[in-house]
Amino acid sequence: MLYFLQHYWWLLVSLLGAILVFLMFVQGGQSLLFGIAKNNDEKTLLINALGHKWELTFTTLVTFGGAIFASFPLYYSTSFGGAYWLWMAILFLFVIQAVSFEYRGKAGNLLGAKSYETFLFLNGLLGTILIGVAVGTFFTGGSFVMNKMSITNIANPVISHWTNGWHGLDAIAVPFNLLMGIVVYLAARTLGLLYVIKQIDLDYLVKKAKVQIKVTGVAFVLGFVALLAALFTMTGYSVSPENGLISPVRYKYFFNMVELIWPAIMLVTGVVLVLAGIGTALFFKGKNSFFLTGGGVVLAVWSILICAAFNNTAFFVSNIDIQQSLTLYNSSSSEFTLKVMAYASLFIPFVLGYVIFVWRSLTKTKMSNEDISLPDSHKY
């Protein structure tokens, strides 16, 4: 039963991660503030179109962290507690996003609209890249050591700790992590452009978005191919089901895909949907391009995150001592906790139904300058 619950919760956690990458189209849209949006009217229209959705990204990020804390607390304490400079940088970038949406459009704001637009741009650029870097550590690990017996030490009950003073910032210098960050940024920016095409009723802004798709969309596809090539040729770490011994395996993540099969089907389906979404935006009106590409991104990211831990794989490797690496088996909560949480997770479809209902209610019609000029409209 515990084995099933551990895998069940990794499925849910990795799904939250995949949905988070999709919802970062808000951040991708913010990165357009000094790109396709040139004047104040265009920036205001873009910010207000994104403003209906920014809370979803922030809430999903917090939910992802909460789900990790509840289901795999040892990973939470090791990564969030040890690599805290990386996570604090991410948190800071999301906090300034919230502040910017709140105060950018208010009369007499302290810093001026330009400063808050810069904060939004930084969240869109650096926030997405650093999230990608953090996700990359599922495959590249970190400089930590772990000793579960330390919990009995009343003076210093710390199970794991980082062995260098960088505390997560060193992850940015790992090529695979940085590539993951760039691909996440390109995915967010591509989805942001597709959202502009779908949701904004301003012809020349939409035309500029379609021109940008030719560059950003192609760069995203090429970057994703490079990421898959790097992932499938890198060394992963296999966990022995008998004694828990961890050993390096070349092409481990490729083997996970082909041995499990269904993640590979998800990945291929996701890639096809992404290509279809970008293609319809380039050669047709692109009415459904945003959801096609978004669905493809969710499936592709979900399949990759599944392979990070399934098939007896260590998902957070200690670069100091691989035998202290984290797996589904040594980092999860108790069977009782996972079981209680599993019952609570049965309410997830109802929550998703509510989110879909609210989403559709807020995006029934495209947004125009006239909409945000109405006396009773909320303006960011």
Could you tell me which of 140, 136, 133 has the C-alpha nearest to residue 248? 140
The C-alpha atoms of residue 209 and residue 215 are separated, in whole angstroms, by 10
CA atoms within 13 A on the CB side of 356: 7
Could you tell me which of 183, 80, 87 has the C-alpha nearest to residue 128? 183
Quickly list DSSP for 168-207. TGGGGGSHHHHHHHHHHHHHHHHHHHHHHHHHB--HHHHH
Helix 54-71, helix 335-344: angle, nearest 10: 150
Structure tokens at 303: 């399949």
> What Cα–Cα distance (Å) separates residue 193 from each residue in 206, 256, 284, 294?
8, 33, 15, 12
Domain regions of the chain by residue span: 2-373
Please report the pLDDT score of residue 112 as a whole number: 78
Token pair 């309410």 in the structure block, residue:
347
Report residues of the chain scoring pLDDT below 70.
147-158, 367-378
pLDDT tens column, 226-247: 999 999 999 999 998 888 899 9
pLDDT tens column, 238-294: 998 888 899 999 999 999 999 999 999 999 999 999 999 999 988 887 778 999 999
Please report the pLDDT score of residue 119 as a whole number: 92
Q: Is-contact 127 97, C-beta < 8 A?
A: yes
